[in-house]
Structure 1
């Protein structure tokens, strides 16, 4: 099961998420949540936090909007 998730394709996706986070001044969590809510279908991310600050940062992801090009980059590197 380890190889199903920890593989080169997913590591490349993670690199793209990190790059996007740096370029936009977001946390990795905000990029991931923004990606989920930018999908063209209804989605409701379920989040958890250890403190109020983490919850506030997660809630800020509601203001993140990714274009179709952004989504394609995050998904495929295109």
Structure 2
């Protein structure tokens, strides 16, 4: 089993999106976790435009790539 985590909601301090590449050839297996930058502010704005509940918590999580419930989340 390979789990790259949530594609665009990492909690490891690296807010780039992550995905896994699995290569199987001739009985060998190789796994790579890759990271790619994306427009975090566009994601926050799309969530805000969709009236996402707890938008401040989401915005904090995607901007800082940390679990938002460890510390108080700034409002606004």
TM-score exceeds 0.5: no
Larger RCO: Structure 1 or Structure 2 (Cα < 8 Å, ≥ 6 residues apart)?
A: 1
Rg larger in structure: 2
In terms of fraction of residues, the more strand-rich structure is 2
In terms of fraction of residues, the more helix-rich structure is 1
